[in-house]
């Protein structure tokens, strides 16, 4: 570590660089700047918005920092020998061995990469906006996830239902994204849901379906079909339907029809998208050509309360919504893919959707937070007489936790430091002393090491 940092520290990595990070501060009366800010904030690319050049899950606001345009710094002072973009190797599945722990690998640049099409969790969107290339550092938990997927590739998904757990900011979302990238590189069929909260926060229309006695979410199913097809089109081209499917509205998908044609029926008519999405997962469940990965971030949102209301304004439970119900069936093992795995990652960032008591007990996670402003977990004894939902206990049965360590090892932290150093995102010259200072200040916690340590001094 010291050798790597010492050699790197000879290069100047000041914030006065071609790709410097600047804070957006809009003074009162600055109409031009205000107009630019408003335009940026109105870029609506939410969790289930239409695909765009930006990550699909980008928020309306861009966060505190954006990259300064290359043409904005023309003074000779900023001319350096460094490359304009971060130069690191691509994510290579075959090279994921213990020897690469602490090494940064960038995600693919194809237009149909999962992180581009399905979107990203909010905190990852902000980091990827700041870096010249989206990348992540290989950690020990990454290798554990990879080993889990390798074993799951020849087994039914009910045998591999794993949830990343750990403290807030430990890197659970990064670990899940790395697993998604590994699976797509191994020719898996991948369904990645980076923000499961969007399935239960009443942000999309719903309507009651007497046939299934659940509330359909046609817009959600429509977008998932679109994105799934875009990411997996090559692998899907070899698959055909194993049975007939009645889709409603006079539409029918006959046995032998290509799976792509089935999906396109749902993308052409949003009215049958919910039924098509269910039929798609049924077909993926019986085929054995490709293993299937369903990866869900904000996993705890499926097991808690929703913001949806029925006509009597009573809360609708998550398992009464079509898409969460379908995902819960596979997560619980009630339904299974012939080959594949279910991966989830819990999140504590949004306190409106905490980990439910039933899920916390299965995953040995901290109990739900106190309703007070302290937001501290209550002791388990406080829930000794609290009733549990039998349904939720059934849906959470069999889930296996995979804890993501809260602290980076020095080797992993050195890899993170090197990424931001090479991308000229540090406030001063890179050195071993700076690295150790920031690592100590933040106790080695993954998110804090980047945001409070390396980038914290850039705030004005």
d(CA 447, CA 83): 26
Query: Using N-to-C axis directions, what is the helix angle for 172-185 and 122-130, rounded to 10°?
Result: 80
Residue 289 DSSP one-character state? S
Predicted pLDDT of residue 126: 86
User: What pLDDT was estimated at residue 108?
Assistant: 83
What confidence tens digit (pLDDT) does each residue in 47-66 have?
444 344 444 444 444 444 55
Q: In sequence order, what are the beta bridge partners of 23?
A: 65
Least confident of 14-18, 28-32, 449-453: 14-18
In angstroms, how far is CA 205 from the centroid of its own chain?
23
Q: What is the mean pLDDT of residues 328-335?
A: 95
Other beta carbons within 10 Å of 410: 16
Helical pair 273-286 and 259-268, crossing angle rounded to 10 deg: 160
Q: What is the predicted pLDDT for the residue at 4? A: 45
Residues 269-296 pLDDT 10s: 999 999 999 999 999 999 999 999 999 9
CA 268/CA 8 separation, integer angstroms: 53
Helix axes 410-422, 432-441, angle to 10 degrees: 120
d(CA 145, CA 164): 9
Query: Across-strand partners of 336?
Result: none
Task: Please name every residue paired with 345 in a beta bridge, in sequence order, or none if there are none.
Answer: 164, 297
Tens of pLDDT along 131-184? Answer: 888 899 999 999 999 999 999 999 999 999 999 999 989 999 999 999 999 999
Write out the CATH class of domain 140-364+388-403: alpha beta
pLDDT the model gives residue 233: 94
Listed as own residue / partner, the contacts of 369-378 with beta carbons closer than 8 Å and 24 or more positions apart are: 375/351
Those residues with Cβ within 8 angstroms of residue 440's Cβ, 6 or more apart along the chain or in another chain: none
Phi-psi region of 364 (alpha: psi -120 to 50; beta: other; left: phi over 0): left
User: So where are the chain's domains?
Assistant: 140-364+388-403, 410-451
H or E segment and range at residue 231 = helix 218-236
Residue with tokens 């990645």: 192
CB atoms within 10 A of CB 77: 9
Per-residue pLDDT at 69? 65
**Cβ atoms of residues 327 and 192 within 8 Å:** no
With cut-offs at 50, 70 and 90, classify the pLDDT of residue 379.
Answer: low
Q: What is the pLDDT of residue 274?
A: 94
Query: What is the pLDDT at residue 34?
Result: 40
Q: Which residues contact 32 (CB under 8 A, 6 or more apart)?
A: none
- By DSSP bridging, strand 104-106 and strand 135-137 are antiparallel
Within 91-187, strands assigned E span: 104-106, 135-137, 161-165
Write the pLDDT tens digit of every residue in 18-47. 333 333 333 444 444 344 334 434 443 344
Mean pLDDT of 429-456: 90
Q: Take residue 89 and report the two structure tokens written for it.
A: 């190797």
Residue-level pLDDT at 105: 92
């Amino acid at each position: 570590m010291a050798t790597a940092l010492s050699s790197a520290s000879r290069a100047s990595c000041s914030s006065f660089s071609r790709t410097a990070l600047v804070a957006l501060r809009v003074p009162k009366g600055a109409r031009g700047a205000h107009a630019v800010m408003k335009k940026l904030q109105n870029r609506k690319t939410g969790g289930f918005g239409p695909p765009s050049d930006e990550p699909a899950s980008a928020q309306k606001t861009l966060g505190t920092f954006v990259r300064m345009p290359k043409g904005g710094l023309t003074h000779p002072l900023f001319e350096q020998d460094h490359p304009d973009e971060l130069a690191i190797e691509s994510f290579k599945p075959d090279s994921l061995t213990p020897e690469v722990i602490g090494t940064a690998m960038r995600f693919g640049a194809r237009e149909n990469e999962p992180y581009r099409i399905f979107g990203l969790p909010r905190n990852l969107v902000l980091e990827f906006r700041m870096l010249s290339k989206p990348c992540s550092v290989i950690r020990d938990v990454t290798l554990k996830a990879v080993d889990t997927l390798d074993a799951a590739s020849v087994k039914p998904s009910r045998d591999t239902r794993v949830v990343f757990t750990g403290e807030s900011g430990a890197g659970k979302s990064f670990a899940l994204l790395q697993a998604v990238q590994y699976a797509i590189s191994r020719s898996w069929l991948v369904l990645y849901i980076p923000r499961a909260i969007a399935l239960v926060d009443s942000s999309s229309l719903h309507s009651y379906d007497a046939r299934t006695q659940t509330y359909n979410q046609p817009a959600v199913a429509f977008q998932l079909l679109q994105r799934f097809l875009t990411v997996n089109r090559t692998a899907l081209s070899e698959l055909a339907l194993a049975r007939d499917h009645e889709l409603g509205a006079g539409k029918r998908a006959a046995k032998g029809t290509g799976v792509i044609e089935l999906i396109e029926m749902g993308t052409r008519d949003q009215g049958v998208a919910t039924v098509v999405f269910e039929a798609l997962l049924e077909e993926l469940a019986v085929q054995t050509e490709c293993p299937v990965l369903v990866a869900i971030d904000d996993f705890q949102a499926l097991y808690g309360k929703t913001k949806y209301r029925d006509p009597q304004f009573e809360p609708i439970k998550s398992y009464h919504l079509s898409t969460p119900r379908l995902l819960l069936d596979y997560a619980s093992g009630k339904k299974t893919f012939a080959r594949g795995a279910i991966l989830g990652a819990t999140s504590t960032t949004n306190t409106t959707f905490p980990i439910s008591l039933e899920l916390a007990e299965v995953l040995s996670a901290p109990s739900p937070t106190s309703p007070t402003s302290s937001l501290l977990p209550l002791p388990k004894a406080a829930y000794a007489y609290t009733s549990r939902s039998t349904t939720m206990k059934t849906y959470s049965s069999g889930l296996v936790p995979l804890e993501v360590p809260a602290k980076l090892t020095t080797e992993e932290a050195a890899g993170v430091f090197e990424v931001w150093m090479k991308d000229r995102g540090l406030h001063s010259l890179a050195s071993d002393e700076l690295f150790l200072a920031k690592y100590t200040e933040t106790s080695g916690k993954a998110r804090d090491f980047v945001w409070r340590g390396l980038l914290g001094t850039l705030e004005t």
